[in-house]
Structure 1
Amino acid sequence: VAESDIGRIQPGQAVSFRVDAYPGAAFMGKVSLVRLDPVIEQNVVSYITTIDVPNPDLKLKPGMTANVTVEIDRASHVLRVPNAATRVRPTADVFTALGQAFPDVGESAEEWEHTEAQATGGTLGTPASARTGEVWIFRAGRLEAIPVRLGTTDATHTAILAGPVTEGLDVVTAIAMQTSATPSPSTTSSPLIPPRRPPSAGRGTSGQRTP
């Protein structure tokens, strides 16, 4: 495991992987050991990590090359948005084409989270991996920014831990500039994972409506 990633690898984490010999099969295991002796090759530092994997059929053989995924975090019963929605950055040309001044993002995610905690009589926990950001919506011909606190992410989606974002809200994932018309933001919905949440989950967004 590369030096840049080893800090997130811990014994007991779930692992899935595939091997070229069985392209349609997924194998599951767990991290059992991270060796402290670094391996240095061409000034690149890595650490040997041992994974325990059941092999009852003896399909896995010494020397096989595997593409491994280690689960370093998990989020359940939270709102999520496509990763593309967190990377949208409208330019000045976009707002000029819309006849719109650059909007004020408004209340920060931290301020919104504090207000929500006071309203619900509790506090909202923030994982160390959480970070602030914004998503954009296209409403009544105008782009509007919504401040959010972002959580766990994977290859396709990012969890929303706090912010005035609700299930079913269409968010901008891309903006295509046209030569003779206003930009056309593409939108997609932000569903819950899974469809139902327990009463105590999602306090940061439960029951909130966007302005």
Structure 2
Amino acid sequence: MPSSTPVVPVHAVRHVLFDADGVIQVLPGGWYAAVEPFLGDRAREFLHAAWRDERPTLSGQGDFLPLLAAALAEHGVAEPAEVVHRAVWQRIERIEETFALIHALRRNGYGVHLGTNQERRRAEHMRTALGYDELFDVSCYSYDLGLTKPDPAFFIEAARRIGANPSAILFVDDGLANVEGARAAGLEAVHWEHTQGPAVLVDLLAEHGVDAHPPAR
């Protein structure tokens, strides 16, 4: 006689891994506006060059600050790299609506984790000044892993550090390529960015069996 007990999948999602920029945090006004006081109408050109220089440091290869200093000098900017990094790369605002959802997930018994591409100096600011080391159970920064999204290896290593089967982890990112990389590694994944609003994310999580509603009192 068939049992009436519901069958729970062996690897039901018990962990949610969040991207940072565009999901839990933003740069107020955007990157170009943050750079304009230093570069004026060359802000876009400068930023794209700086991002190219930054790319190896995202996987822990070298220090971004000397590269930023060289890019500033090349563009005729005398401002110290430390000042520009603080004014632009560290100009981060937490998205409190997303953090309210993260707190609800934790109260509902889920592990909540961070998976983000960051060079070391910006990551250290996030970990300390923004308090992310205390807010997340496991933090997976690309510079520390030596791997960057969307490489599936990033997500396999993240799952190892979380201590869970990849299929028990749901990843949230505003970049479709990163979502596809997570899926290739065996994670569940949803494509979402903060301007869609937290209610949309709650519904997307629910499609994967994840309850992000605040616990009933």
TM-score (norm 1): 0.26
Q: Which has the higher contact order (CA 8 A, sep 6+)?
A: 2
Please identify the structure whose Cα radius of gyration is greater. 1
Which of the two has greater strand per residue?
A: 1
